[in-house]
Amino acid sequence: MGFTKLDSGIIDSSIWEEPLATRVVWVTFLAKADRNGFVGASLSGMKRASNVPPEDFSLAVKTLETPDSDSRSKEFEGRRIEKVEGGWQILNYIKYRQFSYSDSKEAIKKRKQRERNKGHSGGTQGDTSRLSRDISASASVLDINRSINKRRIKGVVNGGTQKITLILDEEPKRWEGITPELKALWAKSYPGCDIDTVLQEMIAYWDAQPKAKRKINWKVTIVNRLKWLQDHGGTRGGVTGGVMEWLAKEKEKEKLNE
């Protein structure tokens, strides 16, 4: 279970000018974060945890992910969260965690204790301990920033799309990461296929399969399915293409490539 120190300056920040639901969602993200600011949760899970109307939740997440020119923090253009694999990253989490701790009564008390110990021990042990903590904290911040930058670069290389995931272990069963732009590309490339129908068919098929058989690269799996259907008459003319026949041919290809 995570523990978050809430900075009292939040009530003076631009986020406090947002609607009540947005503030509730923001505090929920802070409460769910681990020590590095990572919130490991699904979209539906965060909706339940926030306990606000679905439309208000969607607007709140969009606000938190969008640059804020009025934000006191200029890092990340004022954005507060970023969608990452497995959840979200609170972008300035470590910065504020360190700031809040360094100004707390407990931190001040410990600093005074270290200074007293320094006077008795020649001053080397306290300085070394503090330097070690500062280096460790700085390294953590750098590691998270590098990780975020790598994800951004990867997103640009892949055309700006997130990894496609098939959610089958919770309701509603659904695809995540399929953008309108990607669906438009598929519709143009495979005009004989009804993209939504094919995606829904694949949900039903893979939901009936054991977990061990589920794919890792869903994007390739979807494109292979669309190509096969297109080559066999598509779906718009009433030809469904037979999932089992398609899967058998895919296995034959795999054997030939072994």
Domain containing 45 — which CATH number? 1.10.10
pLDDT digits (tens, 9 = 90+) for 161-219: 468 989 988 889 999 989 989 899 999 999 989 999 999 999 998 888 888 777 678 88
In a domain, 192, yes or no: yes
Q: How far is CA 212 from CA 11, 44, 171, in A?
A: 49, 24, 20
Smallest CA-to-CA distance from 196 within 162, 238, 235 is with: 235
Judge contact between 161 and 177, C-beta under 8 A: yes
- Its domain, for residue 62, covers 8-95
pLDDT digits (tens, 9 = 90+) for 114-161: 777 766 555 555 555 665 665 565 556 556 656 655 554 444 334 444
Same domain, 139 and 174: no
Q: What is the pLDDT of residue 129?
A: 60
pLDDT digits (tens, 9 = 90+) for 21-58: 999 999 999 999 998 889 999 999 999 999 999 999 99
> Total structural domains in the chain?
3
Judge contact between 199 and 222, C-beta under 8 A: yes
In a domain, 1, yes or no: no
Q: Provide the whole-model pTM.
A: 0.40
pLDDT digits (tens, 9 = 90+) for 5-31: 777 778 888 889 899 999 999 999 999
Task: Return phi, psi of residue 91, to 5°.
Answer: -70, -40
